[in-house]
Amino acid sequence: MFHVEHFDEDQMQTFDIIIVGGGHAGIEAAHIAAQFGLNVSIITMPGIGLGSAPCNPSVGGVGKGQVVRELDALGGLMGILADKAGIQFRTLNDSKGFAVQSSRVQIDKDLYSQKAEELIATVANISVIREKVLEIKPGESFFEVITTERSYRTKKIIMTVGTFLNGKLHTGSHQASGGRVDCEPSNGLTTLFSDIKTRPYRFKTGTPPRLDKATIDYSKLEEQPSDSTVRNFHCLHSPYERYSRQVSCFLAKTNPETMEIIRANKEKSPMFNGQIKGVGARYCPSIEDKAYRYPDKNIHHVFIEPEGLELDTMYPSGISSSLPREVQEMYVRSIEGLEKAEIKVFGYAVEYDVIDTTDLKLTLEHIQIPNLYFAGQVNGTSGYEEAAGQGFIAGANAALNLLGLDPLIMSRHESYIGVMIEDLTSNTRDEPYRLFTARSENRLFIREDNSLLRMFPYRAQFLLNTPLDSYQRKFLESYQVLTDFCDETMIPEYCPLMSEFAGVGELQQLNRRMSVTEILKQAWLNPISTLERVVGYHGLTIQSDLVRTVAISKKYDGYIKRSESQYEKLKKMDGMHIDWESIYASTNISFECRQRIARIRPETFGQLKLIDGIRPATLAVVAAKAL
């Protein structure tokens, strides 16, 4: 247990660290900081549960599932809570390579928050204070936090206020203050801090109408059952045990009538009539965005997903809207299967203030105001997973700094959390930031399966000794043993295993003595099932997660080495001339990147790299053509 000197107790209650906001970023920040023995408080709005999910109650997804597993390996909460509250499990990109496969869990949002409350309550040195923060005054050695009830002192503050800063809700012409529906509004950041600036433009997010689950005709929808083969997020949980009853999600689709209703009401849309000024997330577009920006496309997927086992609402992901209520009713009921659907909560958009993240260090501490940290949607990100990752980084660094220890700086070449933090602090974002696997130039290495290996050095930096740390040390030892086994064990050509692995066709015959590692690299073989067969043949009993990690690592070893070599070459290519028009025409580059390239028209590779929003995957495509 670490020791840090605390303030003298007086009439003003004092904490080492105060986290303002009890969402996904806030609880991660508090939990990791408390592990160092510090006196931590979460000050959160009354009436809002910890770790609440105001939008789609799901955890994981492309790029995001990797973040959840990284958090879990670092000692975070999100993986534990998602497993406990998970009611439907899926693997996204299942038909693609292991590097881009991502776990996604639909959660019971009430159960998730309940489990978060229970877990935080078990930590004696975390105090949860449910009061509204009115003002924060910086001092020479501490901050004073003034709420509706009293004042508190703290050495460090972590702001995880989500969409609540000057939040404004829009449904048609109706407007209300607040960060989400039925919640008390929050003051703006400039009121809380007199000497800090927000971005000159606001960001926007949105949510769809919630549907009464009893009024949906599921017989007309495509059922998507939970997948029992998806591994849990938390490494100390049994990999395939389910802690809650599993249910299905359903797929619906818009049609020409749906989109015509929306297009006919464009003048009533706050997004397009000038009422909303904020910039929305490119990859979470409202149904109005889809209707007006893609006038020739009328069929869009709508995923009908439960919000909880005991709740009577379904979340129709894909039709977020701020249109008037009567218009929302019309377009919802035009969708097959939703003809009689009743709306329990109407969709809305929310505008909110965000800070300029170029004012933050890689530790997420503010450059101009020492001991002040920011994490979550206030930093211009979208998604629970991105928020949780930032909260962990801010909480860990606030604690480490108080203890005089080295900061936690995660490399973008080793983690998606590192990718996100560097992206945020290096560029002023012109739209809400969302993680994708394509944002990493090293995505063949940054996979879900090897999260424990990648995160172990960072977790070890904390010098903690918990069951998680013991498990990780044993896992790494076993990983090395199994890796050596694969390198050193030779399978002769006459072994029955070779005929099993030979494949079909003359070019797929294994007619020579080979190491297990060589066999795992054969293109037609699934590395996981192949290694499982090999260890079983040799009478070994090895945990499934370990087999999976070693097998995939061996499969990708050559690709990763080539990728690393290519990355080194990238740094030498800045002066290379490029043809931006041919790059713009490439079908291997995302539409977002092609838009930005057409606007800037870069002449050199160095210019291309500096364009805000250009993904590492795009740079790799351009470099591959030039090399």
- Tell me: the pLDDT tens digits for 134-154? 889 888 889 999 999 999 999
Residue recorded with tokens 């995302």: 590
**231 has pLDDT over 90:** yes
**279 has pLDDT over 80:** no
User: What percent of the chain lies above the pLDDT cut of 90?
Assistant: 59
**pLDDT, greater one: 168 or 566:** 168
Q: Tokens representing 130?
A: 């449910």
Topology classification of domain 478-568? Arc Repressor Mutant, subunit A (1.10.10)
Bridge partners, residue 169, by sequence: 176, 350
Confidence band (pLDDT; 50, 70, 90) for 20? Answer: very high
| pTM of the complete model | 0.88
Confidence band (pLDDT; 50, 70, 90) for 187? Answer: low
Q: Is 77 left (phi over 0), alpha (psi -120 to 50) or beta?
A: alpha
pLDDT of residue 192: 67
The count of other CB atoms within 10 Å of the CB of residue 96 is: 11
What average pLDDT does range 532-558 have in this prediction?
A: 93
Cα→Cα distances 209→31, 47, 181, 488, Å: 33, 22, 12, 58
Cα→Cα distances 362→102, 105, 155, 482, Å: 26, 29, 20, 36
**504 has pLDDT over 90:** no
What is the rounded distance in angstroms from the CA atom of residue 451 to the CA atom of residue 66? 8
CATH class for the region spanning 571-626: mainly alpha
The amino acid at residue 84 is: K
For 99, counting Cβ atoms within 10 Å of its Cβ (0-12 exposed, 13-18 middle, 19+ buried), the class is buried
Identical fold between 15-200+352-454 and 478-568? no
What average pLDDT does range 247-276 have in this prediction?
A: 90
The least confident of 37-51, 167-181, 257-271, 476-490 is 167-181
Nearest to 281, CA basis, from 433, 152, 424, 114: 433
**91 has pLDDT over 60:** yes
pLDDT of residue 142: 92
Residue recorded with tokens 């890689």: 362
Any alpha helices (H) in 35-108, and if so which ranges?
64-74, 78-85
Cα→Cα distances 189→60, 136, 196, 475, Å: 30, 10, 8, 45
Please report, for the chain, the start and end positions of each structural domain, with discontinuous segments joined by +: 15-200+352-454, 478-568, 571-626
Nearest to 49, CA basis, from 77, 20, 21: 21
What average pLDDT does range 13-23 have in this prediction?
A: 96
Q: What's the chain's average pLDDT?
A: 89
Compute the residue count for the chain: 627
Confidence band (pLDDT; 50, 70, 90) for 5? Answer: very low
pLDDT of residue 507: 56
pLDDT of residue 2: 46
Interaxial angle between packed helices 78-85 and 64-74, expressed in degrees from 0 to 180 and rounded to the nearest 10: 110
Topology classification of domain 15-200+352-454? FAD/NAD(P)-binding domain (3.50.50)
What is the rounded distance in angstroms from the CA atom of residue 233 to the CA atom of residue 482? 23
Nearest to 549, CA basis, from 527, 517, 516: 527
**483 has pLDDT over 80:** yes
**pLDDT, greater one: 167 or 614:** 614
E strand or H helix at 179: none
pLDDT of residue 9: 46
Bridge partners, residue 59, by sequence: 105
Bridge partners, residue 383, by sequence: none
Residue recorded with tokens 């000197």: 5
Cα→Cα distances 193→129, 166, 198, 294, 424, Å: 20, 13, 11, 42, 21
pLDDT of residue 463: 95
Nearest to 519, CA basis, from 543, 546, 549, 485: 485
pLDDT of residue 431: 81
**8 has pLDDT over 50:** no
pLDDT of residue 567: 65
Neighbouring residues of 621: CB distance < 8 A, sequence distance ≥ 6: 586, 588, 589
pLDDT of 117-130, one tens digit each? 999 999 999 999 99
**561 has pLDDT over 90:** no
**pLDDT, greater one: 358 or 492:** 492
pLDDT of 421-439, one tens digit each? 988 887 777 788 888 888 8
